A and B are shown apart, each in its own frame.
Chain A
Amino acid sequence: MARPASSITSTSTTRIEGWPVKDETAPPRTTPIQSATFTDPINAEIRRAAATGIYDIRGGGAKRKVPHFDDLLFLGASISRYPLEGYREKCDTSVTLGTRFAKNPIELDIPITIAGMSFGALSGPAKEALGRGATLAGTSTTTGDGGMTPEERGHSDKLVYQYLPSRYGMNPDDLRRADAIEIVVGQGAKPGGGGMLLGQKITDRVADMRNLPKGIDQRSSCRHPDWTGPDDLEIKILELREITGWTVPIYIKVGGARPYFDTTLAVKAGADVVVLDGMQGGTAATQDVFIEHVGQPILACIPEAVRALQDLGMHREVQLVVSGGIRTGADVAKALALGADATAIGTAALIALGDNDPKWEAEYNALGTTAGAYDDWHEGNDPAGITTQDPDLMARLDPVEGGRRLRNYLNVMTLEAQTIARACGKSHVLNLEPEDLCALTMEAAAMAKVPLAGTDWYPGKPGTTF
């Protein structure tokens, strides 16, 4: 039995008033160890679930660390490769999407587009800012699950109109006003899932556009109401082409589920463009469990989609647009090197507009979060005024200034991609190729199908035994 602390013989150590006295004679005790399985966040979620009985809903994409473009490096030029002069020699960035069937393909100045995000999830000024920024940068922006707004159409030189399972706001007039149509089968944040927009954001205008009662928690269906498979989809595309006179490209967007087969079937169904969205791609709102546990990283999806296109003899005939965690010009360059024709950004574009800006830290704190971690986009309280329908918050975003910021960001990404392409000796960013890359990790090497750095090998390489 341990003796009481008061009976311990005094030592030379100065005793601090109020601190517990260490029992030097007690047997050693086990250091408290936090579980790697039952972590603080997991335990907090268990307690939250037990208290509320409802799953966690949030916006954004996967937050877990997954193999990504950061795990790839460009080799650059050396004796065996000849670089282009970094600031003077031409390195083209233009991309044409929709060359397969459409009479009027979309010509973009840069290989970075703005992904679909709905009016409703985003404010009207935010949609306007996206249109302005994309137009200034010479690229396209995309509607979302909620229809086409006049602000967005009016400020978007090239606007892609999403054709979604919910068909909220869908009408033939807007369809004919679009520069391209994107049939959304799925998205990276939630392949196999539908959307949701909680009642806080269903204002009169949003409700009217969606034919819904004001203030309800709105659910979007997970699959299209009038077709069920690739054979049906082919006929659906025929109908859309007949309604639009075969003028505009038709994209098919899929989440990163089974990219080889999805790409194959999209091409078979008649797509001009395949849009492939990895699990890091954001959403306005869905279950956290869906975001973090369904779908594949974009790095794993691109090579499989490219392989499908190559097997069909359609690589570069049907263009591939990829998204999900694109943040920098390096990400863009790596995606193109793996075989994509263009990229799309969503979350990054919102950050460029001001989302999660530390200048709103006090307000993020008041919402129980911090800048950089704010993801309750569905609640409509966004201090940055982007993912909200609150008039006072919306007014914080100046769409002209927002558009300028987005233009700047797109320009920087483009310059970065050009810098890398020139270093690899490419006069067009689309000339980047897998041969320009190596991988830092075994996982990235296996997914990207490029050699592990310092080797000529990657897991699964044909002709190798392991």
Chain B
Amino acid sequence: MQTIDLAQTELSALNESLQAQTATTNETAWQVLNPKGAHAIACGLDAPIEVTVKGSTGYYCAGMNKQATIQIDGSAGPGVAENMMSGTVVIEGDASQYAGATGHGGLLVIKGNASSRCGIAMKGIDIVVHGNIGHMSAFMAQSGTLVVCGDAGEALGDSLYEALIFVRGSVKSLGADCVEKEMRPEHIALLQDLLDRAGCDAKPEEFRRYGSARKLYHFDIDNAY
């Protein structure tokens, strides 16, 4: 286990060390001490390593992650795992705004609640939130899956493209062009897999599915909002 203490080490030195790891590294386990809300921790990684951040993080932790598994033993600030390409990010606490924003791939697990705009403009990432999510989540979400085990705030899935949304609890309101859709067997299977990978014991049958009505796909006088 490699340990880097941010009370003793500059942020750039931490990231440089983590970014220097390659697919064949034997230094696969890392922990980061004293994050104390620092920004841009463990961003831009590109190796199959495991990084545990022992505390809460500021903005953009695990930004643009590829391959790495990053666990935050605390809560995460805005933009955690933004534009993630692959790998896994797990947050033991809550996540602030824009969690998983524009993510292209990988799995983001938030064991607490997520704030507003969770999964905004997501492009293939899978996000599982054990708790609730805030307003305008999955805004303009293009692809990937957002799973919410609790409740969703206002304007869920506004201007949605092809992303899938599953919510177990209540939805305060749906955004423009977002509608409830039929839950078919393939969705149950997809959801079960994601819940299993996210360590969540909720039952797929308890969820409702939401998706795009596809009425905004072409400019037209009758779909102006």
Contact = CB atoms under 8 A, between A and B. Distances in A.
B59 A239 contact: yes
A227 interface: yes
Contacts of B44: 172, 242-244
Interface stretch (A62-70, A216-224, A328-336): A216-224
Given A226-B98, A226-B120, A239-B59, A171 B64 contact: yes
Interface string A330-351: 0000000000000000000000
Interface residues of B, number: 44
Contacts of A211: 104, 123-124, 142-143
Given A172-B46, A225-B117, A238 B40 contact: yes
Contact of B121 (A167, A199, A242): A167
A167 B83 contact: yes
A219 B176 CA distance: 14
Interface string B47-89: 0000000000011100110100000000000110011010000
B104 A227 contact: no
B40 A175 contact: no
B102 interface: yes
A335 to B, nearest CB: 34
Interface in A180-222: 198-199, 210-213, 216-217, 219, 221
Interface in A158-174: 166-167, 170-172
Contact of B43 (A53, A166, A243, A246): A243
Given A225-B102, A225-B120, A226-B78, A243 B220 contact: no
B159 A219 contact: yes
A52 interface: yes
A216 B162 CA distance: 12
A52 B155 CA distance: 29
A239 B102 contact: no
Secondary structure dominating the interface of B: loop
Interface stretch (B8-16, B23-31, B106-114, B193-201): B8-16
Given A211-B104, A232-B59, A239-B39, A226 B79 contact: yes
A198 B218 CA distance: 8
Contacts of B101: 225-226
A379 to B, nearest CB: 12
B60 A175 contact: no
Nearest to A199: B218
Interface of B: 11-12, 15-16, 19, 39-40, 43-44, 46, 58-60, 63-64, 66, 78-79, 82-83, 85, 97-98, 101-102, 104, 117, 120-121, 123-124, 139-140, 142-143, 159, 161-162, 216-221
5 contacts: A57-B219, A213-B161, A225-B102, A225-B120, A232-B59
Given A53-B221, A216-B161, A216-B218, 11 more contacts: A54-B219, A57-B219, A167-B83, A226-B120, A232-B59, A232-B78, A238-B40, A242-B40, A243-B44, A243-B64, A245-B19
